[in-house]
Chains A and B, each alone.
Chain A
Amino acid sequence: MTSSFLDAIREALHEEFERDPGLLLFGQDVGAYGGAFGATRGLQERFGSQRVVDMPLSEAAVLGAACGAAMRGSPAIAELQFFDFASCAGFDQIVSVAAKSRYRTGIACPLVVRGPVGAGVRGGPFHSISPEMWFVGTPGLNVVFPSNPADAKGLLKSAIRDPDPVLFLEHKALYRRAKQDPRLGHAAIPLGMAQTVREGSSAVIFTYGAMVSVCVDAAERVEAQRGCTIRIVDLRALEPLDHETILGAVRETARALIVHEGPERGGFAGELTAWIVDRAFDALDAPVLRVAAANTPVPYAPVLEDVYLPGSSDVVSGIERLLDW
């Protein structure tokens, strides 16, 4: 019996709805239909339409209602059908209302905004983005980006219990692809703890989301050719960021590569590189390098999208450049 990424999201939602009778979810088509990708299947049937709320086609209403409920003391989840649509009016409720509430008024806003992100499923320019940097640059928000079903479940449970807003980014290419055996556990995984998914001492790759499996594949190829060992750290959350694990890995390997799916320019690699250089420049034997997507919108044609996305070969080249420096 294996569980998919979607199963993990579903299980986390059901378990958290059962645990906290005050928890609400707002989204479009989340009720009888079960959500555009099926993440909320069965939820309304079990917990009612006053807790799992079908919303009009309005991101401002989805995010506004969820913020209002959260600030009123009912933890709330807002589901976006695609995270690209956070750019609609609901963006204001995320960055102006939720993110600033605690700092400027002392009012907590226990909100989770979750939904599918990422390219590789031929979704074109409006159903494919990796929006993490919209939110990493906004103090007051947490940004979580799981890479596998077990993490998705445990991290979503923590996100729902967190007293502050959490942007929970689910890579849609993982929804059905990523399987895990045995069955998922029931424990929450604390936010802000990176996971070393592969040990190694020649270099370290920091990555997250769907790029984790791409990096594992690339590391195996390089190791087979060169007899080195590549460590891979799945960041799991970009805020809060696990500084301790990052610093330890840099000091132990002396060579760091950062891989993400969002565009290179203004991407998380730039931020993380500056942070590493500032604190561990003395430990580095090579500059921190990065592999990221092209600085373009996400194109539709499969041959174009495949060029856009960082692939295993791009990561292999990045590792080789790093090792040969």
Chain B
Amino acid sequence: MIDDYPPEPPPSPRSSERVRRDRNRGDRAGLEPDQLLELYRLLIETRRLEETLVRLHRQGHIPSGVYRSLGQEATAVGCAYAMKDGDLIQPLIRDVGAMLTHGVTPLALLRQYLARVTSPTAGRDLNNHFSDPERGILGPISMLGAMIPVLAGCLFADRARGRRHVAGLAFIGDGGSSTGAFYEGLNFAAIHELPLIVVLENNGIAFSTALESQVPNGDLLRRARGFGVWVSRVDGNDVLACYSATRAARERGGVTVIVAETFRASGHAEHDDQRTVSHEIRQSWADNDPIDRFTEFLSSGEHMPARELARVGREVAAEMTRWRDQAIEEPSPDPSTQRHGVYAGNSTPIPCSATWWRGPPPGRERVHSV
């Protein structure tokens, strides 16, 4: 019996109103003021970092393109804040915020983009393409979907070795969810009930391809339900909603796909002028900036004095300037090392990750202990 076809007409057009919950609700998702402030700092840090990268790019310091997460910061930060130290995080290029939340310093990203020898890959790879599985970072590769089965393999190996406490958090986009590898990895993880959370960030566009050209009826939720795993849906611009959904998934265990509705407020990269995104759609998301919303939330109740937020903003800005100046001064790789390190026999050690690791913020470690 076919019981759910033809599908219900999709909600249309896609807009922020459709997914937004009570934006000014008093619910702080069980987090204490210091934890809320950490979230705020991570959001601001993500945005300041990307703004700094854009300026460096325009000044000609960055050889590659710059891919930013403007408008999507809450998804990356909120979801990663629900994970534990030692968990594995597998971000995409727009999930820099998740890496900062999991313990990476912004300095590492600056060095990566600037191709410095001090970067986590010593200049061999760009942007957030770097890994340190022991510290819980499984960096992306450019082929979308390819790392989902790889993360599943990490979790499988962990369980085989008795490391049952490790969970995995992966990100995929509306575009990446069209790949076979994405589903193939998810399916393997579900068969073995591995603790894998996949955040399906629906920003409505894959480079310039609209959601309706990506999935029938533009209905990603329906796609996710077809995978036979736990599915939830959140307002991706609500950092606390992202946090709560991920925390619930982590506590339940097994495989969960969280469809996070959000909007990419910048181009695919700095070279993309978003010409295919209509004025109406942009307008409909204009007052839905995740950082504005969280700031409003924090200021409106009794959660946070305004001066605290201002202080955090100043600290982040000052740190970013210092890191930028430091990274710019650092050297490029030695060209004579270009052939090193393809095989174990001719390896040059990649710089110690201690130089780019600061650890997750202290408040996050209390998330699963209460």
Contact A102 B148 (CB under 8 A): no
A51 CA to B159 CA, complexed, in Å: 11
Instruction: List residues of chain A with CB within 8 A of the CB of B153.
Output: 26, 64-72, 76
CA distance A312 to B215 in the complex (A): 55
Instruction: Return chain A residues, CB-CB under 8 Å to B125.
Output: 104-105
Asked if A93 contacts B149 (CB within 8 A), the reply is yes
Asked whether, in the complex, the Cβ of A89 is within 8 Å of the Cβ of B341, the reply is no
Q: A65-B152, A74-B157, A105-B139 are in contact. Are A60 and B184 (CB under 8 A)?
A: yes
- Cβ of B130 within 8 Å of any chain A Cβ, yes or no, is yes
Contacts of A108 in B (CB 8 A): 344
Q: Select B152's contact among A24, A64, A164, beta carbons within 8 Å.
A: A64
Q: Which residue of B lies closest to A64 (CB)?
A: B149
Contacts of B143 in A (CB 8 A): 92, 96
Interface size on A, residues (CB 8 A): 45
Residues of chain A from 59 to 118 with CB closer than 8 A to chain B in the complex: 60-61, 63-74, 76, 89, 92-93, 96-97, 100-108
- B146 CB to nearest chain A CB (Å): 5
Residue A53 is within 8 A (CB to CB) of chain B in the complex: yes
8 Å CB interface, B142-159 against A: 142-143, 146-159
Q: Which of A51, A65, A102, A162 contacts B342 (CB 8 A)?
A: A102
- CB of B349 closer than 8 Å to a CB of A: yes
**Is A297 among interface residues, defined by CB-CB distance under 8 A?**
no
A69 to B152, CA, bound (A): 9
Interface size on B, residues (CB 8 A): 46
**Complex alpha-carbon distance, A110 and B69, angstroms:** 34
Q: Are the C-beta atoms of A50 and B154 separated by less than 8 Å?
A: no
- Determine which residue in A24, A58, A64, A70 has the highest number of CB atoms from chain B within 10 A of its CB, and name it: A64
Q: Which residues of A contact B343 (CB under 8 A)?
A: 102, 140, 142, 164, 240
Q: What is the bound-complex CA distance between A22 and B130, given in angstroms?
A: 25
B141 CB → nearest A CB, Å: 5
Are B341 and A103 interface neighbours, CB within 8 A?
yes
Q: Quick one: given A66-B153, A96-B143, are A55 and B188 in contact (CB under 8 Å)?
A: yes
Could you say which residues of chain A place their CB within 8 Å of the CB of B181? 60, 64, 89, 92-93
B300 within 8 A of A: no
CA distance A193 to B222 in the complex (A): 55
B interface, CB within 8 angstroms of A: 120-122, 124-125, 129-133, 138-139, 141-143, 146-161, 179-181, 184-185, 187-188, 191, 341-344, 347, 349-350
Using CB atoms and an 8 Å cutoff, list the residues of chain A in contact with chain B.
22, 24, 26, 50-51, 53, 55-56, 58, 60-61, 63-74, 76, 89, 92-93, 96-97, 100-108, 139-140, 142, 162-164, 240
Of the A-B pairs whose beta carbons lie under 8 Å apart in the complex, a sample of 9, sorted by A's number, is: A56-B184, A56-B191, A60-B181, A65-B153, A67-B150, A68-B154, A71-B150, A89-B184, A96-B143
